[in-house]
Structures are given as C-alpha cells and as structure tokens.
Amino acid sequence: MTYRAINLSEKLGKFSDLWAPKIVAEMNDYEFKLVKFSGDFVWHDHKDTDEVFIVLFGNMEIEFRDGLVQLAAGEMYVIKKGTEHRTRAASECHALLVEPRGVTNTGDAGGDLTAAKDVWV
C-alpha cells in the first residue's frame, strides 16, 4: 500500500482567503495549519498555549509590546503563551502554524478576523 505525503505547496494552491487557517494534519492533540495573510492582524494572546509559526513564503513580522521579530521563508518562531502579539506582513505571506486543537486565532480579542475552526484543506 502506498500512503500519501502532505504536500504543502499543493495545499496552499487550494485556497486564497487571508487570515483563515486551514488544517493539513493532526498530531496527537495538535493541529498543523496553513495560513495566508497580508497586512496587520489584531493584538491578542493565547493564555494556555505557545504558538509556532514556520514561514513558507514571503516575509512577516511578529510585533510584541516590547519589540518584534522578523521572519523570512525558512524561519520559525515560538510565541510563548500569554505573550501579547500582532502578526503582520507588508505583502502576502504563507506560514505553517502549530498549536493545540481548537485554539481561536484571535485569542480573546474577537473581531472580524476571528476565523472558523476545524476547516481542513
């Protein structure tokens, strides 16, 4: 039997909406999600979990209350739980997120950019 790998470029080709993470894999109780985004997100934090960004295409910044980190394709960063942050990208950026199942993308901040959960691609 031949099993099939998850091809991240192929998955990225299947959607174009921004700030709307799509699940590509589950590992234990964690989800791996692809997301495309451009512009500024909202300030928020995740009280109960760290969050991982792995940039696949483009460039992004994660702004913190006391500074920022810049990421290019091939770079990753772990946002520690409870740390307020805001992601942004001057032009479209694609990233792989890793976080526990069921995390809300905007934390408790809410607003228009709050995305549906459990959407697979």
Residues within the interface to a second copy (CB under 8 A):
1-9, 24-28, 30, 32, 49-52, 54, 62, 64, 66-72, 74-78, 81, 96, 98, 100
Whole-angstrom distance, CA of residue 69 vs CA of residue 12 = 24
In whole angstroms, the minimum distance from the beta carbon of 12 to a second copy comes to 10
In whole angstroms, the minimum distance from the beta carbon of 18 to a second copy comes to 21
Nearer to a second copy, 68 or 90 (CB): 68
Nearer to a second copy, 2 or 91 (CB): 2
Nearer to a second copy, 72 or 110 (CB): 72
Residues 44, 107: contact at Cβ < 8 Å?
A: yes
Find the helix or strand (DSSP H, E) in which 31 lies. strand 30-40
In whole angstroms, the minimum distance from the beta carbon of 104 to a second copy comes to 17
In whole angstroms, the minimum distance from the beta carbon of 60 to a second copy comes to 10
Nearer to a second copy, 29 or 112 (CB): 29
Whole-angstrom distance, CA of residue 91 vs CA of residue 37 = 8
* Cβ density class 51-70: b for 16+ within 10 Å, e for less: bbbbbbbbebbbbeeeeeee
Pair of tokens at residue 56: 């696949």
The conformation of residue 58, written as its DSSP 8-state character, comes to S
